[in-house]
Amino acid sequence: MISVRRVYEVPSDKDGIRILVDRLWPRGISKEKAEINFWFKDIAPSNELRKSYHSAAIDFNEFKRRYLLELSESKSGDSLIRISEFIKAGDKNITLLYGLKDEINNNAAVLKEFILNKFIINKQ
């Protein structure tokens, strides 16, 4: 199972493998408190895309479209391969962590959709 949570939420035993998917470390939280297993910066949105979205130069739909394109054309195959291996192993949940306040419109939710389509839905 893949879930999406804010990195600021208290870690849960149900989280399984906790993967931070932001390019920058979230403000105000220590690495110890975050209890991160992996930090996959290379599958986070590019700096340019992140800045465009945070400055409201683009809306979420445009952010999502561009981020999915980045993921499709990504050279970050190693991190995606690692996630696919975690999925295949199937013995632990996977939690994608992000720092944004918006719990619906965030990069981790888009990444989850991408992963489900690439590694789960298309494999059935």
Report the alpha-carbon distance of residue 44 to residue 32 in Å, rounded: 21
pLDDT tens for each residue of 80-99: 999 999 999 988 899 999 99
Burial call 84-107: b when 16+ CB within 10 Å, e when fewer: bebbeeeeebbbbbbbbeeeeebb
Kindly report the pTM of this predicted structure.
0.92
Confidence of residue 60 (pLDDT cuts 50, 70, 90): very high
Task: With beta carbons less than 8 A apart as the criterion, state whether 49 and 67 touch.
Answer: yes
Average pLDDT over residues 62-74: 94
Above pLDDT 70, what percent of the chain? 95
User: Residue 122: is its pLDDT beyond 60?
Assistant: no
The answer to whether 39 and 18 are in contact (CB under 8 A) is no
CA-based nearest residue to 41, from 63, 25, 56: 25
| Residue 12 pLDDT class (50, 70, 90 cuts) | very high
Give the amino acid at 19: I
**pLDDT tens track for 27-51:** 999 999 999 999 999 999 999 999 9
**Domain ranges for the chain:** 2-123
Tell me what pLDDT residue 120 has.
Answer: 74
Above 80 in pLDDT, residue 123? no
